[in-house]
Amino acid sequence: MQGTVALVASSFLSGCGSSNSGALQPANPQPVPPGPLTQASLIVTAAAADTIGPAFAGLSYEKSELYGPLFTASNSGLIGMFNRLGTSVLRIGGNSVDRNVWTPNGPGQTAGQIAPSDVDSLAAFVKAAGWQCLYGINLGGAATGATTPALAAAEVAYAAQQFGSSLLGTEIGNEPYIRGQAYLQAHNGAAAAPEFQKILDHRGIVSNSVFGALAHLQLGRAYAMEGESAKAKSAYEDFLTLLKDADPDIPILKQAKAEYAKLQ
């Protein structure tokens, strides 16, 4: 999976594609190590060194799946499939986790809302499957006022009550990039800039994801929103430098160039 992400990121940042023969071509040649190479070998034997736990690999679904009847105790087909996989962890989160609000009096299965009945259904499903749940709650919505810490705490408390020992833990928000975006949407550049700077200061957060490059662009937008032209230009230049070999027709690149031109 990580290799796939790396390939997608490389395609986006460098505009790589496939040749007429259909074989993937690297956007840039691999660097040649400057020093001497050391030969190494790996021997694999039948002897067991350690074991991987049954919950090492689980499944992850968008929280928006709670809007529908997927995770219910009556979905015997899906429960059976989970049973065949063995005991593991179901993560409920993704980008949609920051696009819904805990609604204590909601009817359930309603887009943009998470009601008690939605949590009840999910908890019943997880228990029937014999799995545990890593449950995500809205963080990005706090930047726009869509949700509050009190609502988030109430949702966690209700989930903990319904899941019991089937709740592995809670996940607050999704990628840090989303929080910065939420601040931008709220026209709060001063709050957005530190969020994107965190990504640039700790690149391990996003590894080789395209969000690492996009953080430069969003940082520039945040500074521009606050009237800090010099810092904005520097951030835009960093982004454009990263994409200097990319396809010039990529929409986000064209938009960034237009925005940068207005700063001149």
What would the pLDDT profile of 54-96 be if each residue is shown by its tens digit? 777 899 999 999 999 999 999 999 999 999 998 999 999 988 8
The model's pTM is: 0.58
Whether 87 and 163 have beta carbons less than 8 Å apart is answered as no
CATH assignment at residue 119: 3.20.20.80
Residue 230 forms part of a structural domain: yes
CA distance 121 to 107: 13
What would the pLDDT profile of 114-135 be if each residue is shown by its tens digit? 999 999 999 999 999 999 999 9
Beta bridge partners of 78: none
Same domain, 165 and 180: no
| CA distances in angstroms from 133 to 23, 73, 93, 123, 138, listed in the order given | 40, 15, 11, 8, 16
Sign of the CA dihedral with 135 first, then 141, 143, and 145 last: negative
pLDDT beyond 50 at 223 = yes
Instruction: Please name the residues in contact with 148: beta carbons below 8 A apart, sequence gap of 6 or more.
Output: 142
Dihedral pair phi/psi, residue 104, rounded to 5°: -55, -30
Residue 217 forms part of a structural domain: yes
Residue 254 forms part of a structural domain: yes
Q: What is the largest CA-CA distance in the chain?
A: 67
- Give the number of domains in the chain: 2
* Residue range(s) defining the domain that contains residue 256: 175-264
Q: Which of 117, 146, 174 is the last residue of a domain?
A: 174
Q: Which of 174, 200, 229 is the last residue of a domain?
A: 174
What would the pLDDT profile of 127-181 be if each residue is shown by its tens digit? 999 999 999 998 767 656 677 888 989 999 999 999 999 999 998 877 667 778 8
Provide the residue type at 25 as one letter: Q
Find the helix packing angle between 116-129 and 76-85, rounded to 10°.
50
Same domain, 247 and 198: yes
Strands 167-172 and 113-114, sheet pairing: unpaired
pLDDT of residue 239: 94
Q: Which of 108, 141, 174 is the last residue of a domain?
A: 174
